[in-house]
Amino acid sequence: MRILITGGAGYIGTALTSTLLEQNDVDEVIVYDNLSKQNYNFFLGHTYPNKNKLTFIQGDLLDSRSLKNALEGVDVVYHLAAKVTTPFANSDPHFFEQVNHWGTAELVYALEESDVKKLIYSGSTSVYGSSKEEVTEGTEPNPRTFYGISKMRGEEHVQRLVNKMDTYILRCGNVYGYNKSMRFDAVINRFMFEANCNGRITIHGNGKQGRAFIHIDLLTKVFKEIAFKDIKKGIYNVVDRNLSVLDLVDVVKEIYPELEYLFINQHLKLRELRVAQDSALRSQIDYENSRSLKDELLDFKDRFSF
């Protein structure tokens, strides 16, 4: 099996690449990334298992010729490449449209002319916008940010391939947890960095806003399983737990008892989005979390150099 990962040098891609290279059925993993996020940690400080099976191509989603060449002989594509700038998801529409919308369109055009058998698209629960009730896969998307809109447009392009290949749209919750290509704009990762290095965290709004989360290890397991199992194609939510910001603060304070926290614009009530955990995917893939959030964050703490 030959696998291509767009955005493979990023946060999720780094973890997924390592996991896929351990699989005996994988002949080659091709990482296709333009390095716009300067994810050089992907290349340094560790050795990938079976590294002779790993190929890196520095290429852009909007470079149709490079993309088509990279897809030759590929069986499975993971589309992870995206512009993500939490918490500035509503700051620059062109910024998101160029990659998340039109970049996905270019990939789909190339896939239509390829022999790829399976496409796994890393979507986002942000397509639901906000809701006072828990959303499910049956909830109508209603994105409220430029980022959410661009991810929904990407989904629409992917759905054109349904009759050509097995397509999977995974609407992922907020991803957290340690790996070599960390994202510190994500709220849990940012809290851990600030708590460990500064002894103080900053909270935007009143802290009561809820979000859906999933640990990087669990998400990687889901992505891997879909490549190798006979999963019914479709749209799935992939989340593990719903937490408010104040819930997170309580756990981080258990780990760092001297922690201080500072509210910014505490009078604001920010967007709420909780996602039902009983996704239809759970009946096909076992990704129950055996660890508490505190245990996960204690493991994270142990990764800091000091």
The rounded average pLDDT for each run of 10 residues, N- to C-terminus, in the chain (306 residues) is 97 97 97 92 90 97 95 98 68 77 96 98 96 94 93 96 97 95 92 97 93 96 96 96 96 98 89 92 93 97 95
Q: What pLDDT sits at residue 212?
A: 96
Q: What pLDDT sits at residue 225?
A: 97
Instruction: Exactly one of 32, 147, 168, 176 is catalytic; name it.
Output: 147
Beta-carbon count within 10 A of 172 CB? 23
The structural domains of the chain, ordered by start, are 2-176+212-240 (3.40.50.720), 187-211+242-272+290-303 (3.90.25.10)
Scanning 234-283, the segments in alpha helix (DSSP H) are 245-255
Q: What pLDDT sits at residue 164?
A: 96
Tell me the pTM: 0.94
Q: What pLDDT sits at residue 92?
A: 64
Q: Are 248 and 187 in contact (CB under 8 A)?
A: yes
Q: What pLDDT sits at residue 46?
A: 82
Q: What pLDDT sits at residue 94?
A: 72
CA distances (Å), 56 to each of 14, 64, 90, 98, in order?
12, 17, 32, 23
CA distances (Å), 7 to each of 84, 94, 289, in order?
12, 19, 26
Q: What pLDDT sits at residue 154?
A: 96
Scanning the chain, the segments in alpha helix (DSSP H) are 11-21, 64-70, 93-96, 102-112, 146-158, 187-198, 216-228, 245-255, 293-303
Q: Among this protein's residues, is 11 annotated catalytic?
A: no
Beta-carbon count within 10 A of 267 CB? 7
Q: What pLDDT sits at residue 90?
A: 53
At residue 45, φ and ψ (nearest 5 deg) are 80, 0
Rounded-to-integer distance, Cα 272 and Cα 94, Å = 25
